[in-house]
Amino acid sequence: MRCDEIDLIDAKPKEERDPKVRDRLRMILLPKEGYKPKEVATIMRTTERTVHTWKKRYGEEGCEGLRTREDSGRKKRLSEGDIELLEGLLKQKDYWTTREVRDLIKSEFEVEFTVRHVTRILRKKGCTIRNRT
Kindly give the confidence (pLDDT) of every residue in the chain, 133 residues in length, as a single tens digit, with 9 standing for 90 and above: 444 454 455 556 567 778 898 889 889 989 988 999 999 999 999 999 999 999 999 999 988 898 888 877 788 899 999 999 999 999 998 889 999 999 999 999 999 999 999 999 999 888 877 776 5
Q: Is residue 130 part of a domain?
A: no
For residue 40, the enclosing domain spans 3-66
Per-residue model confidence (pLDDT) at position 103: 96
32 in the same domain as 60: yes
Following CA atoms 75, 19, 16, 76 in sequence, which dihedral angle do they give, to the nearest 10 degrees?
Answer: 10
Mention every residue, 6+ apart, whose C-beta is less than 8 A from residue 32.
1, 6
Mention every residue, 6+ apart, whose C-beta is less than 8 A from residue 42.
none
**Separation between Cα atoms, residue 67 and residue 21, nearest integer Å:** 6
Q: Is residue 57 part of a domain?
A: yes
62 in the same domain as 13: yes
23 in the same domain as 49: yes
95 in the same domain as 42: no
Select from 22, 43, 66 the last residue of a domain. Answer: 66
Amino acid at 108: E
86 in the same domain as 58: no
**Separation between Cα atoms, residue 95 and residue 89, nearest integer Å:** 12
Q: Is residue 132 part of a domain?
A: no
Per-residue model confidence (pLDDT) at position 64: 86
Per-residue model confidence (pLDDT) at position 4: 45
Number of domains in the chain: 2
95 in the same domain as 41: no
- The residue among 25, 7, 10, 32 whose CA lies nearest residue 67 is 25
- The residue among 32, 31, 24 whose CA lies nearest residue 67 is 24
pTM above 0.85, yes or no: no
Q: Is residue 72 part of a domain?
A: no
88 in the same domain as 61: no
Per-residue model confidence (pLDDT) at position 19: 87
